[in-house]
Amino acid sequence: MKFLDFFRSLNPGSAATAKERLQIIIAHERRRVQTPNYLPLMQREILAVVRKYVPISEDQIKLNIDRRGELEVLELNISLTEPPLEP
């Protein structure tokens, strides 16, 4: 499972890599396959919510989808550009 690996990959000593990071994970367990899979649509809307708070371009987002039987895990890894330092 990749949860928090995104953050662990950070090099704390390097000022050049000083960025804000945001990880959103949505895991959905469907006990019946007949249940409609709303995850892709929901993920798009959730991303729209995130964009209201932080400006994100497409290349800042890494999307992973993992399916294991009844469990579907959707993972959004977002690297946010550091805002400029105030004088």
Footprint on this chain of a copy of itself (rule: CB under 8 A): 1, 3-4, 6-7, 10, 18-31, 35, 38, 41-42, 45-46, 49-50, 52-54, 71, 82-83
- Which residue's CB is nearer to a copy of itself, number 57 or number 69? 69
Which CB sits closer to a copy of itself, 22 or 61? 22
Helices and strands in the chain, H and E counts: 2, 3
Helix (H, G, I), strand (E, B) or coil at 60: helix
Rounded Cα distance, 83 and 85, in Å: 7
Q: How far is the CB of 87 from a copy of itself (least distance, A)?
A: 14
Q: For residue 67, what are the β-bridge partners?
A: 72
Q: Which is nearer to a copy of itself, 34 or 57 (CB)?
A: 34
DSSP structural state of residue 21: E
